[in-house]
Amino acid sequence: MSPHSASSDAELFARLPDPAAREELLMRNKPLADYLSRRFAGRGEHAEDLAQVASMALLKSIDRFDPKREVQFSTFATVTIVGELKRHLRDRGWAVRVPRRLQELGLRVGKSVPELAQELGRAPTVPEIAKRTAMSEDDVLDAMEASQAYATDSLDAPVSEDDDRVSGDALGTEDTRLELMEGWASVAPALERLPAREKRILYLRFFEDRTQTEIADEIGISQMHVSRLLAQTLAFLREHVGGEIELP
């Protein structure tokens, strides 16, 4: 790979799906994606999340761009990226910043759940959590809800493998099994794009029928975090069921 390739965009598009050409197109247009994501910043969504949404939209526009059309790639990419950013903000619009009080309540709830699960041998109910944490049931519910809304992770960047805690080795066979299950085959390409941890959570929940509390224990994150990741993963997969049909 030559770092200073002098190829034109047209030449690069002609070379697709060559990964090097794709990478070069991605690098060239990254500033556009960053610029657009900054324009949408300050609306209650994390800047990094927006940047990831924009990057994914850029990738999508590279894969979908038809050089034969009478339109500049930058125009096509801008429309795609702005569309995805708007959709993201609309979908997550309610996921505004969580007030500090709720974050603190969320931490208390999060801490009590595994303790109670240990004692009870099952996941606790809301009244049980309320009793243990000396919170009202309403506050427990608010805290659970807020932790769901709090978009600390963005599945719009499923290619990011940064915080994978699960080794890839154990996953190969499991992925295959998940994709062999009825219904799941329809999202096989999207499953491949998921980070290993998210795939593992799906596998444990839907193939092994483990509860969210058990999964939390096994992976070493909170039950609320498992719940949030599942919600994001399922939303991501829903978007990609029959995704190919949209392609021209």
Partner 1 sequence: MSSPPPETVSAQIPAKAEFVHVLRSVAASAAARMNLNVDAIDDLRLSVDEACAELLKAVPRGSVLELTIRRTGIDVEVVVSTDGDPGSWPPNGHERTLAWQVLSGLSDEVMFERSPSGPAVRIRMHAVLEELGH
Would you tell me which residues interact with partner 1 (CB under 8 A)? 90-91, 93-94, 113, 122-127, 129, 137, 140-141, 144-145, 148, 181-184, 186-187, 205-206, 209, 211-213, 223-224, 227, 230-231, 234-235, 237-238, 241
Minimum distance of partner 1 from residue 188's CB (angstroms): 11
Question: Which CB sits closer to partner 1, 37 or 112?
Answer: 112
Minimum CB separation of residue 225 from partner 1 in Å reads: 11
Type of residue numbered 168: G
36, burial (CB in 10 Å: exposed 0-12, middle 13-18, buried 19+)? buried
Nearer to partner 1, 25 or 116 (CB): 116
Q: Nearest distance from residue 13's CB to partner 1, in Å?
A: 32
**Whole-angstrom Cα distance, residue 221 to residue 219?**
6
Q: Select 26 or 234, whichever has its Cβ closest to partner 1.
A: 234
Q: What tokens were used for 87?
A: 């959709």
For residue 129, the minimal CB distance to partner 1 (Å) is: 7
User: Min. distance of Cβ 120 from partner 1 in angstroms?
Assistant: 9
Our CB check for partner 1 shows the closer of 37 and 212 to be 212
Please state the closest distance from residue 74 (CB atom) to partner 1, in A. Answer: 30
Residue 4 DSSP one-character state:
T
Alpha-carbon distance of 97 to 178, in angstroms, equals 35
Q: What is the closest distance, in whole angstroms, from the C-beta atom of residue 202 to partner 1 in the complex? A: 9
What does each C-alpha distance from 26 to 38, 60, 77, 232, 248 come to in angstroms? 18, 10, 11, 25, 21
Nearest Cα neighbor of 147 from 230, 56, 42 is 230
Contacts of residue 148, defined as CB under 8 A and 6 or more positions apart, other chains included, come to 224, 227, 228, 231
Tokens of 3: 């770092």
Considering the complex, state which of residue 28 and residue 210 has its C-beta at the smaller distance from partner 1. Answer: 210
**In angstroms, rounded to a whole number, what is the distance separating the alpha carbons of residues 98 and 219?**
25
End-to-end CA distance of the chain: 31
Tokens of 193: 């794009």
Q: Pick the closer one to partner 1 by CB: 13 or 184.
A: 184
DSSP states along 126-161: HHHHHHHHT--HHHHHHHHHHHHH---S-TT-TT--
Closer CB to partner 1, 80 or 212, in the complex: 212
